[in-house]
Structure 1
Amino acid sequence: MRNIGIILVLLSLFSCETKYNYIDSGLANGRFDGTMYDYLHSNSYDWDSTLLLVERAGLEDLFQGKQVGYEKITFFGPTNLSILRWMIEQGYNAIREIPEATCRELILRHVVAGIHWRDDIPRGEQILGETQGKGGKVFTSAFGTKFWVYSFQDTYHDIPDVGPVYLYVTSFDTRTQIDVASTDIETDNGVVHSLNYSYTLGQL
């Protein structure tokens, strides 16, 4: 437990975020030559705990595009810091201590069938006190849970609708709004949208 706490503090100190909450995927053009499973292997800084969860859950085939009905997937991916924070809250010292069924649920809640690019998500607007606001799109995860995703385009030099485009996710179960930090990481069998470091696993 103490080791995980130290790691979490160090990651918090060195994972500085820009104004736009961008997570560096390490890809110059957003394209990774390989499966999503290969991509998780390629960036240990962000994805090694995610990869261990996938493997503990026995979901390697899903992330390799080998599961019927999920040959192409979109993964709203929780990164290492999100997973470590949840482990500390739950009292786990290592991913091997987490029940396989729990690992499976946690991962499947972040997966939807098909490829959904950032620009495929309609613009939306939150409504105070409501889980689902205006516009956007409702997704059903591979676990059967639902969440609402909407896009928002910021201004640039006070000019509307020309700035960067962001994605926001709201869980129907927890009513938590989650920022997407990096979008449209393309792999051979799908696309990854990296969730913000401030996200805690289990909120989706």
Structure 2
Amino acid sequence: MKIFKVKYMLMLAALVTLAAACKKEHYTDGGVHSGKLDMNVYDFLKSRPFEFDTIVWILDKTGLAEEVKKNNITFFAPKDLCVVNFLNRRGGAKLDTLSVEVLRKAMSKYIFPNVKVWRDEVPFLNNTDGGGVYIKTVLNDSMLVDSPLREDYNGVPQAGPKFIRLWDPNGFAYTRSRRFNAAATWPENADNSTNPPKLYNPWVSSGNIITSDLQATNGVIQVLNGTHTFGFPFK
């Protein structure tokens, strides 16, 4: 009888653990993932201060917080680490010494009103100029979203997960390159066989979006990799 009770208690504990696991939030760091949230974009960012408290501060400081509270938006969410990269690119500048105009211009590149960008709807790289789609920011500038071809998986061609990327087209020196190297310097020669040589800027790309299609109550959130440099500096 005691053995039966112990087995029963272990089974009950396992069921409780499974139920708790099913209630875990949809956000995961480090892989392509999607899920539905019970909060708007701004509240989601505030709910994760260890990753986005600096982003929230910039949104509040620049007056763009109200934009990410509006309906039918897509926010490509840079992490706080992205801002650290941005400050390091400026010689270790302090965030509170930068003008509101500089911060507003940089943050605006991630906010897209009146559109929901879903991963599966973004075109793959499939033509000579790179493919992808252009979308308008909250300040009416153009940004580019595309998807690199799927990688092979377990020997099956192009069976890997689909990723999307955000680009600042103003950083394309000649034609954009698919390479992303956060440690590279600008400019670099990607292909010397052309005249003029094709130059690429590693900072104009977000790299692969690591967490995609988070469905907030007012729009879509695409979370950027921490290797990205906030603001897409290309000089």
With structure 1 as the length reference, what TM-score do the two structures score?
0.74
Residues 183, 141 of structure 1: alpha-carbon distance in 2 compared, 3 angstrom cutoff = same
C-alpha deviations, 1:140-191, integer Å up to 9, x for none? 2222322222123232212134321111232211232321222112111111
Structure with the greater alpha carbon radius of gyration: 2
Tell whether the 8 Å contact from 2:214 to 2:220 is kept in structure 1 after alignment: yes
Counterparts of 1:95-174 in structure 2, within 5 Å, are 95-113=95-113, 114-125=115-126, 133-151=129-147, 152-174=149-171
**Cα pair distance change 1:108/1:138, threshold 3 Å:** same
| Residue ranges of structure 2 left out of the alignment (5+ in a row) | 1-26, 173-203
2:38 maps to what in 1?
33
**Which amino acid in the other structure matches residue 178 of structure 1?**
S
Q: CA deviation at 1:96?
A: 3.1
Structure with the higher fraction of residues in strand conformation = 1
User: What is the percent sequence identity of the aligned residues?
Assistant: 23
Separation in 1, partners of 2:111, 2:64: 11
Runs of 4 or more above 4 Å deviation: none
Residue among 181, 185, 190 paired with 2:219: 190
- Contact 1:54-1:107 within 8 A present in 2 as well: yes
Question: What TM-score comes out, normalization by structure 2 length?
Answer: 0.65
Deviation, 1:81, is 0.6
What is the total number of aligned residue pairs between the two structures?
A: 170
Q: Do the aligned partners of residues 203 and 29 (structure 1) sit closer, same or farther apart at CA in structure 2, a change above 3 Å counting? A: closer
Task: For residue 29 of structure 2, give the secondary structure of its aligned residue in structure 1.
Answer: coil
SS at match of 1:139: strand
Asked if the contact 1:139/1:147 (under 8 Å) is kept, the reply is: yes
Mapped partners of 2:150, 2:56: distance in 1: 31
Question: Unaligned regions of 5+ residues in structure 1, if any?
Answer: 1-21, 66-70, 128-132
